[in-house]
Structures are given as structure tokens and as C-alpha cells.
Amino acid sequence: MSSFQVSKIFMIGGTGAQGLPIVRELVKDRRYDVRILTRNPNSRRAKELAELPGVELLQGTFASEDDLTSGFTGCDGAFVNIDGFNCGEKSELFWGIRAYEIALSVGVKFYVWGNLDYGLKKADWDPKYRCGHYDGKGRVGEWILQHATPHMGAALFTTGPYIDMALSPLTIMTPRLIDGVLTWSLPLGDGEVAHVALSDCGVYVRWLFDNPGRANGMDLEVAIAHISYSEMATAFEKVTGRPARYVDVPFGEYFKAFSGHESFMSVLKNPHMGLMSKLRFGFGFSTKQPSSYNADPADPATLSFETNFIGFWNLWRASKGNKGVMRRDYELLDEIHPNRIKSAEEWFRKEAEQGDLWERVSKMAPILKWSEDGAKGTI
């Protein structure tokens, strides 16, 4: 048995879109107990997790050394996925490093960092590919692996855009019904996105904790496949029999849609947002504001929503066929998770088992915590 084997995991990001399926997978057979840090233990998501066997909640914030110390103490494992859209690139860099240091100081045996590709580095430092929420995580991930120690194993769990966002409101790839056709209007060109299925995330993270000897030092970069949005539309049509299309649009037209009438109506239909949040988010959102809602707009290090997501889409425009900037080792993923979802069509078919997808289009529920919370809250 590896010296990095663990039994109780402290988790930051447990109530997020990615965290929910990971927690469920970790505790399903009681091999692991999980302690989840949450700012609000009375939130809907926190309450749902608290009902699971082996789950405890700790009220606090990742931006507190005392709370981090309390969270890591008594746990021998850690999964840390800081919400960069909350704190911003600059704060994530500090607290990502500090969390690792504190975990090491209190005796955690195995540490998993919720990561994203360091896109700027992978693109050979070309500034057109700078994306703050990617680079912030990626820098921390590289730092962690470079500071390996025999006292604590460490691995990265590198994800990407959730395919679930393609059928969810208030995301960067939310579709619209235009003349009865489900339409994704995105500035992707003929690029392809290495989408991730949230339902697969738990299996991958469980594998990391189940196999710490092999996982130590690994950057596990996951995805379904590199998917074009023409393929996405075709897959939706094939599964539902309903019309769908992808329209490549310039950045200006893309960003204009975030402050348009349809965007505001999506906010109003969100059942998980209070009235004041709906009004503030619906009327007050601007693509010129910081991409992270607690970042200082006067700080030169802060990227605007537009600047951040121009870099994001440029990364995927340059990643067609798994031969460009953003790549994945799909043979490795098949070995680790043989039953993983491998195409957009397969994902749509699995989702259709839970209900009619065409009906879901008109009643889309938020996947991202950012969307559900109305892009608000403290660090």
C-alpha cells in the first residue's frame, strides 16, 4: 500500500459544479470521508451534500489561514479547487500556494489540485491566448508539481469547459432558440473544445485517490473529446430529432448578447436566484467588468470579462483535432476510465435518459455556482 493512501479528504470547491459529483463518488462506498469547506452551510447545495454519509461541513473561506488550518487538520487527503471567478487570478495564485503549504505543514499525505491548462505557456507565451482563469490555476499547478516532497504526494486534476454548460443558462456557451432552431452562436471558428462531462469527474478524482502511488506527480488532463460545435449541433439533432445549428460569430456580436434581452430573460427565469440578485445581475452585468466578481477593477492585474474570454476562445480556436495548443491523451483516459463518455452524441443520449432534451432547452437550470449565485458573494 502506498504511503500516500488516505481516508479523510478536506475539500475546497465541494459545492461547485465539479465538486458535487466528486463528493458523491468519493463517499459512495464509505471508503473515504469528506470534510467540505463552505461559506454558507445553509445553501441548497451544501444541505444536499450534508445528507450524504461520511460528509461534514466546515463553515469558512479558503481566503483564511485559520480556516484552511482547521480544514486540513485531521484529514490525510485534500482536493482543492478554488473558484477563480470569485477571487480572481491574483488571489488564486496566492491562496493556491498557501493552501498547499498549510496542508503540508499539518500532515496531509496526498493533495489534489483542481487545475486548468496553463494556456499562455502552452501557446508559447503569445498574449492573444492569455486567459486569466486558466493561467491562474495553471501557474499554481506547475508550482505544486515543482515543489514535490516525500512527505506529501500531489497530483493535478486538469479539466476544461463542462459540456453541461452547452445546455445551461448564463454560461459562455448557452444556446438560444432562434426561429425554432437551437442555436449556438460562438466565436470558435472551426476550432474544437475539449469538453468535460461533469458525470465523469468523480470517477477520475476517485482514481487519483485510489492510486496515489501512480498518481503522485501526475497532471491528469481529462476530456470527452475535442468537439466542434458543428458536431455538437449535429449530435443534438440526431438524438432529439429537433433542429440545431452552430453559427460562428465575431467577438463583438458574441459579447453583445450577454447584455441583450434574451440574456436578461434567462436571469429572470432562474428559480435559484432571489429577486434582487436577478435585477442586479440582469441590469448590472457588463462584459467590461472584471471576469471575477471579487477582483478589484482598478487593479492592473484584473482582466475584464471580454479580455479573459477572448483569450479563452482563441485557445480553442487553435486546438482543432487535438493537434494544437490544448491537447489530451485519450488512450490514458480510456485506461483510467474505460466507461467514460467519448462523444457529444453519447452525452446527449445519457442526458436524454433523464428527460426530454427539447423541453429542457426551454427550462434550462444553472449548472455553474457562478450562475446560480448570480455572480455574487464573499471570498
Q: Within 10 A of 257 (CB to CB), how many other CB atoms are there?
A: 15
In contact, 180 and 186? CB cutoff 8 Å: no
C-alpha–C-alpha distance, residues 291 and 162, integer Å: 18
pLDDT higher than threshold 60 for residue 106 = yes
Average pLDDT for 214-236: 99
Q: Are strands 33-38 and 8-12 parallel, antiparallel or unpaired?
A: parallel
Average pLDDT for 184-197: 99
Residue with cell 432562434: 178
State pLDDT tens for residues 253-295. Answer: 999 998 765 666 666 666 656 666 666 666 668 899 999 989 9
pLDDT higher than threshold 90 for residue 128 = yes
Confidence (pLDDT) at 184:
98
- 3-class SS at 5? coil
Confidence (pLDDT) at 371:
63
pLDDT higher than threshold 60 for residue 195 = yes
Structural domain boundaries of the chain? Answer: 8-160+196-221, 164-192+225-325+342-372
Average pLDDT for 98-110: 99
Sort 56 into a burial class: Cβ within 10 Å, 0-12 / 13-18 / 19+.
Answer: exposed
Lowest-confidence region among 27-36, 166-175, 201-210: 166-175
Q: Among the ranges 83-87, 197-201, 299-303, which has the highest mean pLDDT value?
A: 197-201
More confident residue, 293 or 318: 318
Top CATH class, 8-160+196-221 = alpha beta
Average pLDDT for 16-32: 98
Confidence (pLDDT) at 297:
93
Lowest-confidence region among 150-154, 335-339, 364-368: 364-368
- Helices (DSSP H) in 211-274: which residue ranges? 212-215, 229-240, 251-256, 261-268
Strand partners, 221: 158
Confidence (pLDDT) at 272:
59
- What is the pLDDT of the chain when averaged over all its residues? 94
pLDDT bin (cut points 50, 70, 90) of residue 152 is very high
Confidence (pLDDT) at 119:
99
pLDDT higher than threshold 80 for residue 7 = yes
Angle at 173 between CA 171 and CA 177, to 5 degrees: 100
Confidence (pLDDT) at 93:
98
Share of the chain above pLDDT 70, in %: 91
pTM: 0.94
State pLDDT tens for residues 41-60. Answer: 999 999 999 999 999 999 99
Q: Does the 164-192+225-325+342-372 domain belong in CATH 3.40.640.10?
A: no
More confident residue, 259 or 373: 259
Confidence (pLDDT) at 160:
99
